[in-house]
Structure 1
Amino acid sequence: MKQLRYGGLLLLTILLAGCGEETYLNRVKEQGKLVVVTRNAPTTYYVDRDGKTGFEYDLVSAFADDLGVELELMVRNNPAEILSLLEEGKVDLAAASLTRTEQRKDRYRFSDSYQQVTQQVVCRRGGAYPEEPEDLVGLSLTVPSETSYVDQLQRLQEEVPELTWEVDAEHDTEYLLERVWRRKLDCTVADSNIVKVNQRYMPELLVRFDISKPQPLAWAMPAEAHGLQSAVNNWLSGFRDDGVLEHLINKYYGFIEVFDYVDTRAFKRKVKRVLPTYKAMFQAAGRKYGIDWILLAAQAYQESHWDRLARSPTGVRGIMMLTRTTAREVGVSSRLDPEQSIMGGAKYLANLLGRLPDEISEPDRTWIALAAYNVGMGHVYDARKLAREQGMDPNLWHEFREVLPLLSQKKYYKDLRYGYARGSEPVRYVRRIRNYHDMLLQALKVE
């Protein structure tokens, strides 16, 4: 009899647990909205000229669309505030570049990971130069409260008892990175993805050393959100398998290359001193040919560093570095005339955009057209053919760019119509333009 009673209670517990799972997810669907908290930061959510954007925003928007509910967004400054909202049951999900740690798993439910990051000690060029945890002793070191940085520093403190730090309960990682950049702090700790993005705006920031192994980023949910957790993981699995997650990561991080301090400093100086001379010309060309003028300016910087007299060993000249043949095609009589060069370069890029197949959508269309500007449309056609042969999608830049370097290998180019090409160059070319474009957007926002 006791065994029957025990079995009945166990079955009832399982049924109630299952009911709870469905109840939470059903409540979200019945309310018709998913309440999400995030941070206003370059790696999560922000508003640009085209409206709301950001890696986490795009990701969680896609999930809300899949559920068929409206996304209701709440923005908070730091992990402490974000986790507090989860504790109070005021939000369904936190999409804020949170690290999934053992300590947090005891209090919240987490999704599967969608990105890996490493915690790094960040200081300023010309400032403190710690090379290992022992060197942090005596430095002014501050991190945001309720972060995985605190957990990691506590583990380091077991090895280095003299290690101390301050905890900021009001501000986020980006704010503290700026404090380091402004010499108000010696150092802070930040995730590697946050460091990469912010180094482009504050080039004096330097990574001194890593203090963690790669760690998973994941969405956090209230402890009772069993059903929502399952729904997120099922959706995320399909999102990853379909290649959409990789495409999204490429959109926000694919153009960030190895940090170049000298180049970034030079670029920032020329934005202030040189760009104003040509800004109206880029804007006029952009209006005429329907191309983002900031993208044209970024491309011109990659081509010539905005030097109207620029000349390459191969004979291309001017701000947009046009060949003689291209200049004739677009009606440019003097490649050294900056207005003619900018207008001619924009016309040529517009022509390339128009020659691509209709099935290529933005922003991939622009990246592939820029590759054609660098290597020639013939080689782009060859690479598209090769991509299909390799089982890659020639309409997606993050797959197409994997194929371009193969154009320099004889076993691939020998059967292609246009033959050999230095296929790695257009990949670097597009990556640098995207990097300059992003830095230019930020610089113009500050003006």
Structure 2
Amino acid sequence: MVRIFRLLSFAGVAVATVAGAALAQDPPPPDSGDTATVAGLTALAEELLAAPDAPEPVETGDVLIEAVLTPDTGGLEAVRQRGYLRMAVAPDPLMIAFDGEAGVGVAMILAQEMEKYLAGLPDAGETPTVVVPTPTPRSVIAERVAEGLSDFTTLTVTRAEENPALTYTRPLIRDVNDVPVLGAEIAGVETLDDLVGIPVYVSEGSRYEANLRRLNANRARDGKAPLTVKFVDARLDDYDLIEMVEIGLIPATVATDFKATFWNTVYTSVDVRTDLELTADGRIAWALRADNPELSEAIDGFAEIAKKGTLLGNIVLKRYASSADWIENLGTDDARIRIDEVGPVIDRYAREYAFEPELVLAQAYQESRLDQTKTSHVGAIGVMQVMPATAADPVVGIPDVSGLDDNVRAGVKYLRWLRDTFFDDPEIAPLDQTLLSFAAYNAGPGGVKRARAKAREMGLDPNVWFENVEMAIQQSVSREPAVYVRNIFKYYVSYRLLQELEADAEAARGEIDALPDDISDLPPLDRAAALEDLTGIVVGGAGEDMAAAD
């Protein structure tokens, strides 16, 4: 049996939508002997700006995360000004996953399509707004959106669950309700009453807990016995619990019929009881703050072309939601081999030059798909697509970049030089220092200088990338640097947040892996009791007391 969550590994930093661009580094001046060679990048820097004081190296990955997670309750215009729209998404492989080549899942493809839709609106700006999936613990997604820590999300919601601080688009999928998922050894369940006495395990603080509390309150009013509900560590998601049902550690859980049916294609022995609905009038819709009418109108418009039954909606559902086979195939052999070979080298030099390794890895994917044999049409070489003349310049000082180690070292050292030389300015926010550095790596520092000058001419801010220099560089250089930076930003942020949540969940799963092998010899309910006795996974439970809460 495939353990799905183990496939979400370091192979996951993907930069998917556009092939890696050749490194457009500004060449050194025409060769005039040793003096010109020595002058190279130094002369270029002096030509482009007055040499700054030497700064201390700064870790740059966190500034992207901090920018995305800064509270902002602005509407559509504010989103356009900052340049990105945040889509909170649960860390579920059905919604978001990565392999060595691409970001995949329902949220990833809808984010790409939403970018196209927003760019086509009559009042859209000249540069597309980046839609950034931001993996978020499921139990706090609605709260994060309401507080401005994200802009919108996809929720399964019934009328009883609606949050007054949020507004909901037209349904993407109708008639989505919670159902029991039973182990193969659980027999004799024909009605909801037959579930009484069978422990049902759900994540603490989840919507399933809230809905089961409502169900038990209703059963109490009708004079019926409550269901026995056990709460597990909130770091475990729906598919974790379904797998635990599959291997017999717990007898039952709850999931939406949509997701339970999907995961049933992997965990084939579980019994998904779509005939025993635990909720009514459920639907999947996008939710956002109620005080953003223009943004709500835009997202609702996209819902109309992305809902089930439309061409786009049906393509997404057929591609991702009909079977989990695509998840089992994540982490291809080629991707794993490249990660195993290139990852440690990137990690070494990223840390040496004070960059976050995952950030450099995202850039390397954008450049070459981690392929050291790649040579561009302009002569850029290897994983980091370094121009030999740039690498040989004394500023970088690496004359041969044909080998992996020196190629990565040269690329990261050059990126550090770009940031420290041209963008270490207190007038430039840390986020924009990082994004402008990536743009200079792609278009050359001269290209970015022209773009910043063009931004001034256009009445834009030359110190801000999104919707400012990003717009100007498309006129003064080309569209390529804008796409290049956007992809690194989007996929790095999504991967980094997902990786952090996955690490938390893996700590909880480790307790399950440590259970003794002979636990499988116990009867189903005894196995569940042993899980509670031997681990800290089960954090609480309720039965009759749930009936008092509504």
Shorter-chain TM band: 0.3 to 0.5
Q: Output the TM-score relative to the length of structure 2.
A: 0.39
Q: Output the TM-score relative to the length of structure 1.
A: 0.48
